[in-house]
Structure 1
Amino acid sequence: MNTGDGPFGPVVNGTQIVFFEYRPNKTAGNTFVVLFGLASLAHLLRMVRLRAWFCIPLLLGGISETFGYHGRAIASDNPVKTGPFIMQNLLILAGAPFLAATIYMVLGRVVVALEAQRHSILNVRWMTKIYVFIDIACIFSQFIGAAMPASGEPDAFVKARIILIAGLVTQLAALSIFIATCWQIHRRLSRDPPISVAAYPRISWERYFWVIEAMTVLMIIRSVVRAVEYLQGEHGFVISHEIFIYLFDAVPMFLVMLALLFWHPGWLIRRIRGYEKV
């Protein structure tokens, strides 16, 4: 068993397999277990209240993040154990695509609620399906890449790194195209508002676009940093400093959940329907 400050990991056939370059911080892990756990519970209650079933991926993402950081917390006690390493690696990586899928669906719901489909180059429903399909592929790549190191073989780590980088780059490309699409709809909607916006000026529709765009930027930053982490590989600067996973993954993903809690698209849809009944 490794002792000291790291690196930590099992020895397989005389070769040191590195799980962590440092001993994971237990306090930081438990802090985000609480934060993501509370956010997930709040979203569950709001989803049921608003009957916003399209937010199920958001809930799954929050649960993944919660148990992922629980894995980091328990890995602090025994950083050479395979189970906690795979748990935190798999769930934290998979949590972000679930949240991204929610953002894609939120844009579709907002555009349909505002009757602004004509402002989108692609059919809104097909656009959402395409982005979600890409995101599902990214989720599977994260699962496969995160689970492969369980074998403990050095070759598995190399293959896992390639798969994870491919998934992260694909997600980054999808997010970049998505934010450009969102901004285009936002701009066209501002110049030529649909009947629902013109008839009900008190509906604060624009803030939802700002929130979607801000969340997408956070997702892009997270994907860039994680891609750099795996490109640098073992002993790289990013992977060797725990602050990066909290500052550029945990915090942005928590802010995404928080933003959707305060500016839930279900409220916009309910307000529009309320105005239409008057």
Structure 2
Amino acid sequence: MNAGNGPFGPVVNGTQIVFFEYRPNKSAGYAFTALFGLLSLAHLIYILWRRAWFFIPFLLGGLAETFGYYGRALASDQPTKVGPFILQNLLILVATPFLAASVYMSLGRIITSLDAQRYSVINMRWMTKIYVLVDIACIISQFIGATLPASGDPAAITKAKIILLGGLSTQLVALSLFIFTSWHVHSRIKKNPPELLLKDKSLRWQNYFRAIEVVTVLMIVRSLVRTIEYLQGEGGYVISHEVFLYACDAALMALVMLIFLIIHPGRFVQDARQLKGDQGENFLLGSR
């Protein structure tokens, strides 16, 4: 095992299995542990305040990021140990699919709140279910792919790479189709607003569509960089430079969580529900 600058990993049958190409940065690990911890706490408060239960997977994603980067901080002192490696590798990989699950559900609830189901290219009864099922498959594939390398078996490491690439590629396709769906509905609502928006223009509905589209682009960039990382494999440029993990994964996912704190879909769903209730009450009073 290497006690210097890397690579680091256990020695199995005389062969070193590489966990890290470098010693993970402890300060960066703890900094993002704190950042994701604070963002997760803020989302927990928002979930309880807005009763936005569909954001529970988002919270789980934030917690996965928190403990994933805690694992990287631990790995700085123990880069050859299996425990910290599995903790950071598994949780950081599965965090984004958890975050994505709530993004998928958010679009469905916003479209339903606007009574704009007819504008969706996919039947609303199936849209969220399809995307969430794909997301679950991505979580499972990335769970398996992230834990297999810990065995140290070269065959298992090769199999893990294939499984991870399959999960990341599927996620890229799902996110790309999803952003097209969001853009399509967004465009059609602008051209032909549903009755709710014609009666009351106080709902800033476009902000929520834009937020969903921005966070989806951020997730696409993250998944693309991680796909390139695993395609390049051991010794590749991306995996050998820690800056890619923090710039193209950690920072982007922290931004996703921040955007949805500022423009939270749970608020829109609640406001639209209240507006519908007020309009119904006004209609009944006017008919007396």
Q: TM-score, normalised by structure 2?
A: 0.95
Amino acid at match of 1:60: L
TM-aligned CA deviation for residue 277 of structure 1: 3.1
1:150 has 2:150 as partner: yes
Output aligned runs, 1:44-59, within 5 Å.
Answer: 44-59=44-59
1:30 is aligned to 30
Deviations 1:158-198 (A, max 9, x none): 11000000000000000001101110000000000001111
The 1-side partners of 2:103 and 2:83 are apart by 31
2:72 is aligned to 72
Amino acid at match of 1:71: G
The 2-side partners of 1:39 and 1:125 are apart by 31
Deviations 1:114-145 (A, max 9, x none): 11101112122310000000000000000000
2:43 is aligned to 43
2:177 is aligned to 177
Structure 1 unaligned blocks of 5 or more: none
Amino acid at match of 1:33: T
1:222 is aligned to 222
Larger radius of gyration: 2
**Alignment check: 8 A CA contact 1:108 1:125 kept:** no
1:261 is aligned to 261
Amino acid at match of 1:250: A
Amino acid at match of 1:57: P
RMSD of Structure 2 on Structure 1 (CA): 0.8
1:270 is aligned to 270
Instruction: Tell me the SS of whatever aligns to 1:76.
Output: helix
1:189 is aligned to 189
Instruction: Tell me the SS of whatever aligns to 1:145.
Output: helix
TM-aligned CA deviation for residue 275 of structure 1: 2.3
Structure 2 unaligned blocks of 5 or more: 279-288
Q: How many residues align?
A: 278
1:231 has 2:231 as partner: yes
1:3 is aligned to 3
Deviations 1:9-56 (A, max 9, x none): 011000010000000000000011001001111111110111111111
TM-aligned CA deviation for residue 276 of structure 1: 2.6
**Alignment check: 8 A CA contact 1:33 1:70 kept:** yes
Instruction: Tell me the SS of whatever aligns to 2:77.
Output: coil
1:117 has 2:123 as partner: no
TM-aligned CA deviation for residue 72 of structure 1: 0.2
The 2-side partners of 1:248 and 1:118 are apart by 36
The share of aligned pairs that are identical, in percent, is 62
The 1-side partners of 2:230 and 2:58 are apart by 25
